[in-house]
Each structure stands twice: as structure tokens, then as C-alpha cells.
């Protein structure tokens, strides 16, 4: 069993947070929801998800993975220094990082895309390339311990790749 962080912010894409949240638990992993504040966040469609911890309460070395859902949440997360720092620390410590859809915005802000192959929602493609990444139009792209996907339709492939890498 691995311990996994799921980052959250208002206007997250429902399926891109909830599908991995439950799929990781189904695989036996412990998921901790992390937000800038220990409060309840609402999805694009009003589904509530409570952040159990804030970035300041997280010791990255205690976890094996970190997942960032898409929607409009990444645009909000990327301007919160503590959230960006948590992603950067997770990358530096070698955690498995999963990012789907617009979540690449947080990876870009954390400065971890240079030289990486990845995919994301098409509207973020140019940002990914400008950050030094190589964009691939594929349901899932794995580069080292970084796993990325484009949109909700890719969730089965995205979660399968996460479960496989977290089980190693």
C-alpha cells in the first residue's frame, strides 16, 4: 500500500479528481486530499471534496505519489506558492506524479517540464512546449515517474498507469 496525495482546489473537474481518488483506494492505496486550506472544495458541478491537510502539514518523504486533477483548479493552484512548492518537492523526492488535463499548468509553474515528454489538454499544449517539454498527443504519457493524460476520456489509461507505477 502506498500513500498518495490528491491536490484539490475549487472548480476541479469532477471525474478527474473522483475517479483517481476511488481507483487508488480500490488498489489499496491511502489517499490524502490536500488543499491550500483545510476546507471543503467544490467541483465544477458542485460536488464537495474536503481537504484533510494543507501543504504545510505534508512531509513529502512520507508519500509515494501525488495526483493533480484538471478543470479550472490548476489555474488557481499555480498561483499558490505552497501548492507549487509541494509539487516541486514531490518531483525532487522522486514521487510518482500524475497530472491530467489542465494540471500541466501546475507542473509548468513548478518548473519541472524542461526535457520531459508529456500530454495535457490541448489548450495547455503551447505552454507545455514553451516550458521546455515535448508534447505528445496520446491518452497517457509516462516519462520517468511523471504520468500525464489529456482529458476525462483518458482516465482508465491514466489510473492504470498510476496503479502500476505505485505498485512497483
Residues belonging to the active site: 101-102
**43-59 burial: b if 16+ Cβ within 10 Å, else e:** bbeeeebebeebbeebe
- The three-state secondary structure class of 32 is strand
Residue 136's contacts (CB-CB under 8 Å, 6 or more residues apart) are 117, 118, 119
Question: For the purposes of burial, counting CB atoms within 10 Å of the CB of 3, is it exposed (0-12), middle (13-18) or buried (19 or more)?
Answer: middle
Distance CA 49, CA 143 (A): 29
* C-alpha gyration radius of the chain: 14
Amino acid at each position: 500500500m502506498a500513500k498518495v496525495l490528491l491536490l484539490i482546489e475549487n472548480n476541479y473537474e469532477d471525474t478527474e479528481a473522483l475517479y483517481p481518488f476511488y481507483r487508488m483506494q480500490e488498489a489499496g492505496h491511502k489517499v490524502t486530499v490536500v488543499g491550500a486550506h483545510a476546507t471543503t472544495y467544490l467541483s465544477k458541478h458542485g460536488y464537495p471534496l474536503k481537504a484533510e491537510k494543507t501543504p504545510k502539514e505534508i512531509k513529502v518523504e512520507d508519500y509515494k505519489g501525488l495526483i493533480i486533477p484538471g478543470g479550472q483548479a490548476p489555474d488557481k493552484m499555480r498561483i499558490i506558492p505552497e501548492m507549487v512548492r509541494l509539487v516541486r518537492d514531490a518531483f525532487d523526492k522522486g514521487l510518482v506524479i500524475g497530472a491530467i488535463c489542465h494540471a500541466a499548468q501546475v507542473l509548468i509553474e513548478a518548473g519541472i517540464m524542461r526535457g520531459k515528454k508529456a500530454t495535457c489538454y490541448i489548450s495547455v499544449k503551447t505552454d507545455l512546449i514553451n516550458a521546455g517539454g515535448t508534447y505528445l498527443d496520446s491518452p497517457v504519457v509516462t516519462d520517468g515517474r511523471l504520468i500525464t493524460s489529456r482529458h476525462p476520456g483518458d482516465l482508465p489509461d491514466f489510473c492504470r498507469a498510476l496503479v502500476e507505477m505505485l505498485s512497483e
